[in-house]
Chain A
Amino acid sequence: MTDDARTRRFELLAMPHLDAAFNLARWLTGNHADAEDVVQDAYLRAFRYFDAFRGANFRVWLLTIVRNAFLDWIKDNRSSRLVFQSADETIEAEPDPQPNVEAMLLERVDSETLTTLVEQLPAEYREVLVLREIEDLSYKEIAAITELPPGTVMSRLSRARTALRKAWQVQEGRS
């Protein structure tokens, strides 16, 4: 394949996922400019390793690279707020006292408030929420991207949603 044909083939496969790549990077970095840098870096990496792509799902492969580009970006721009927190995955989350009451409140939350609440969650929670609720990926696909066992994906999603409900409850209590 000539360089040109390879480039075109890459563009055909990769460009339709640009919004998904940017969305994940934007949710991880927390801002527009850094998200653009991460995505651009990820696309150039993806192009470099393009010949190694053997999988069935190009979007999953590409989002894995976006996530790795983000992890490297953190290393270069050390910011304690952004570093992934290592939560203990083996212990079950504390049962919520009244999960349905909090959830009912969540029904009335506006988009801006909910987005802010999710933005304040740790990155490890944000990424599983984005991959599950926006990208609609399966546990197996999320496991491939995050390099976690599928069971951990499940418990992390569960914690992330509980954390969101609690954050919302705290916010409601304050206002």
Chain B
Amino acid sequence: MNHQRALTLLTAYADGQLGPIRRMLLRRHYDRCPACLARLEALQTTREALRTKMAVHRAPPGLASRIASALPREPAPPPRQPSRLVWGFGASGLAGALAGVALTLMLVPSPDPLVSDVVADHVRSMMADHLTDVLTSDQHTVKPWLSARLPLSPVVKDLAPEGFPLVGGRLDYVQGHRAAALVYRRAKHTINLFAFAAKGPEEAAPSLHTRDGFNVITWRMDGLTYVAVSDVEADQLKDFVKLVRAN
């Protein structure tokens, strides 16, 4: 390759934008041309300085939620009436209130609010940098970190040998409850495992739900509600839940 051509392609060469044959031909020229080699070295030093020292600006913390709140959304399902309102209606009002409940149930074909809520949490957690507060694969770090911040002590296991490595944990809210969120990976997929204290039976068997392409498994264990959410296949999520529940 002639010198002028090699000089013109120097930038593309340093940027790794050329195919293997052109790279080889250029390399052969640069090795024998001190003028080109000096330029190539200068270029590489410049690139190195830029790549390692140029400021990288991160989005400010509130920006994601400001954008999210500007996007159109269907109104959230109406919250259940607080019980004290029902009491206030007295005997005659109670029938009306009950009729209202029946009507609501008929009009809204009961999308389980818990399932919608955790799917939304899962999606939010995938936004820039909200996945984990404590980033570690060590269950012995995650567990004390969580119990120092929450009045509950959920099961924390690293399931890396079984193909579900623990990535970290964070604090979250699910239906108004403070919740522990444990983050696991399955290949390139993320599994969020939420645990929180809500009223209910001590134990309840797992049940599978599907919403917007996400699989959700809920169950109760030791008086806590557990919810696993992910876009992995339902069977894989079932395996994951089996492992979490195993003693």
Contacts and interface: CB of A to CB of B under 8 A. Distances in A.
Contacts of A7: 71-73
Contacts of A70: none
B66 interface: yes
A107 B10 CA distance: 20
B59 interface: yes
Interface in A5-64: 5, 7-8, 10-12, 15-19, 21-23, 26-27, 32, 35-36, 39-40, 43-44, 47
B54 A115 contact: yes
Contacts of B138: none
B70 interface: yes
Nearest to A33: B60
Interface in A83-118: 92, 96, 99-100, 102-104, 106-107, 109-111, 114-115, 118
* Majority secondary structure of chain A interface residues (helix, strand, loop or mixed): helix
B123 interface: yes
Interface in B25-66: 38-39, 41-43, 45-51, 53-60, 63-64, 66
Contact of B128 (A15, A40, A47, A158): A15
* Majority secondary structure of chain B interface residues (helix, strand, loop or mixed): helix
Interface string B146-186: 00000000000000000000000000000000000000000
Chain A interface size, under 10 / 10 to 19 / 20 to 34 / 35 or more: 35 or more
Contact of B123 (A8, A43, A106, A110): A8
A23 B123 contact: no
Contacts of A154: 11-12, 15, 17
A76 interface: no
A58 B58 CA distance: 19
B47 A39 contact: no
- Which residue among B11, B39, B72, B120 has the maximum number of chain A CB atoms within 10 Å of its CB? B11
B128 A18 contact: yes
A52 to B, nearest CB: 17
Contacts of A111: 53-55
Interface string B187-217: 0000000000000000000000000100000
B51 A133 contact: yes
B91 interface: no
B233 interface: no
A106 B70 contact: no
Given A22-B58, A36-B60, A114 B50 contact: yes
B74 interface: yes
A118 B72 contact: no
Given A115-B54, A118-B54, A139-B12, A39 B63 contact: yes
A23 B8 CA distance: 30
Contact of B57 (A23, A110, A114): A23
Contact of B126 (A16, A109, A118): A16
Given A2-B74, A7-B73, A8-B212, A164 B43 contact: no
A37 B10 CA distance: 38
Given A17-B128, A99-B43, 17 more contacts: A10-B71, A22-B57, A23-B57, A32-B60, A36-B60, A43-B67, A44-B70, A96-B42, A107-B48, A114-B49, A114-B54, A115-B54, A115-B55, A132-B15, A133-B51, A133-B54, A157-B15
28 contacts: A2-B74, A7-B72, A8-B120, A8-B123, A10-B71, A19-B129, A23-B58, A36-B60, A39-B59, A40-B66, A40-B67, A43-B70, A100-B39, A100-B45, A102-B42, A103-B43, A104-B45, A107-B45, A107-B48, A109-B49, A109-B53, A110-B53, A111-B54, A129-B50, A133-B54, A139-B15, A161-B46, A161-B50
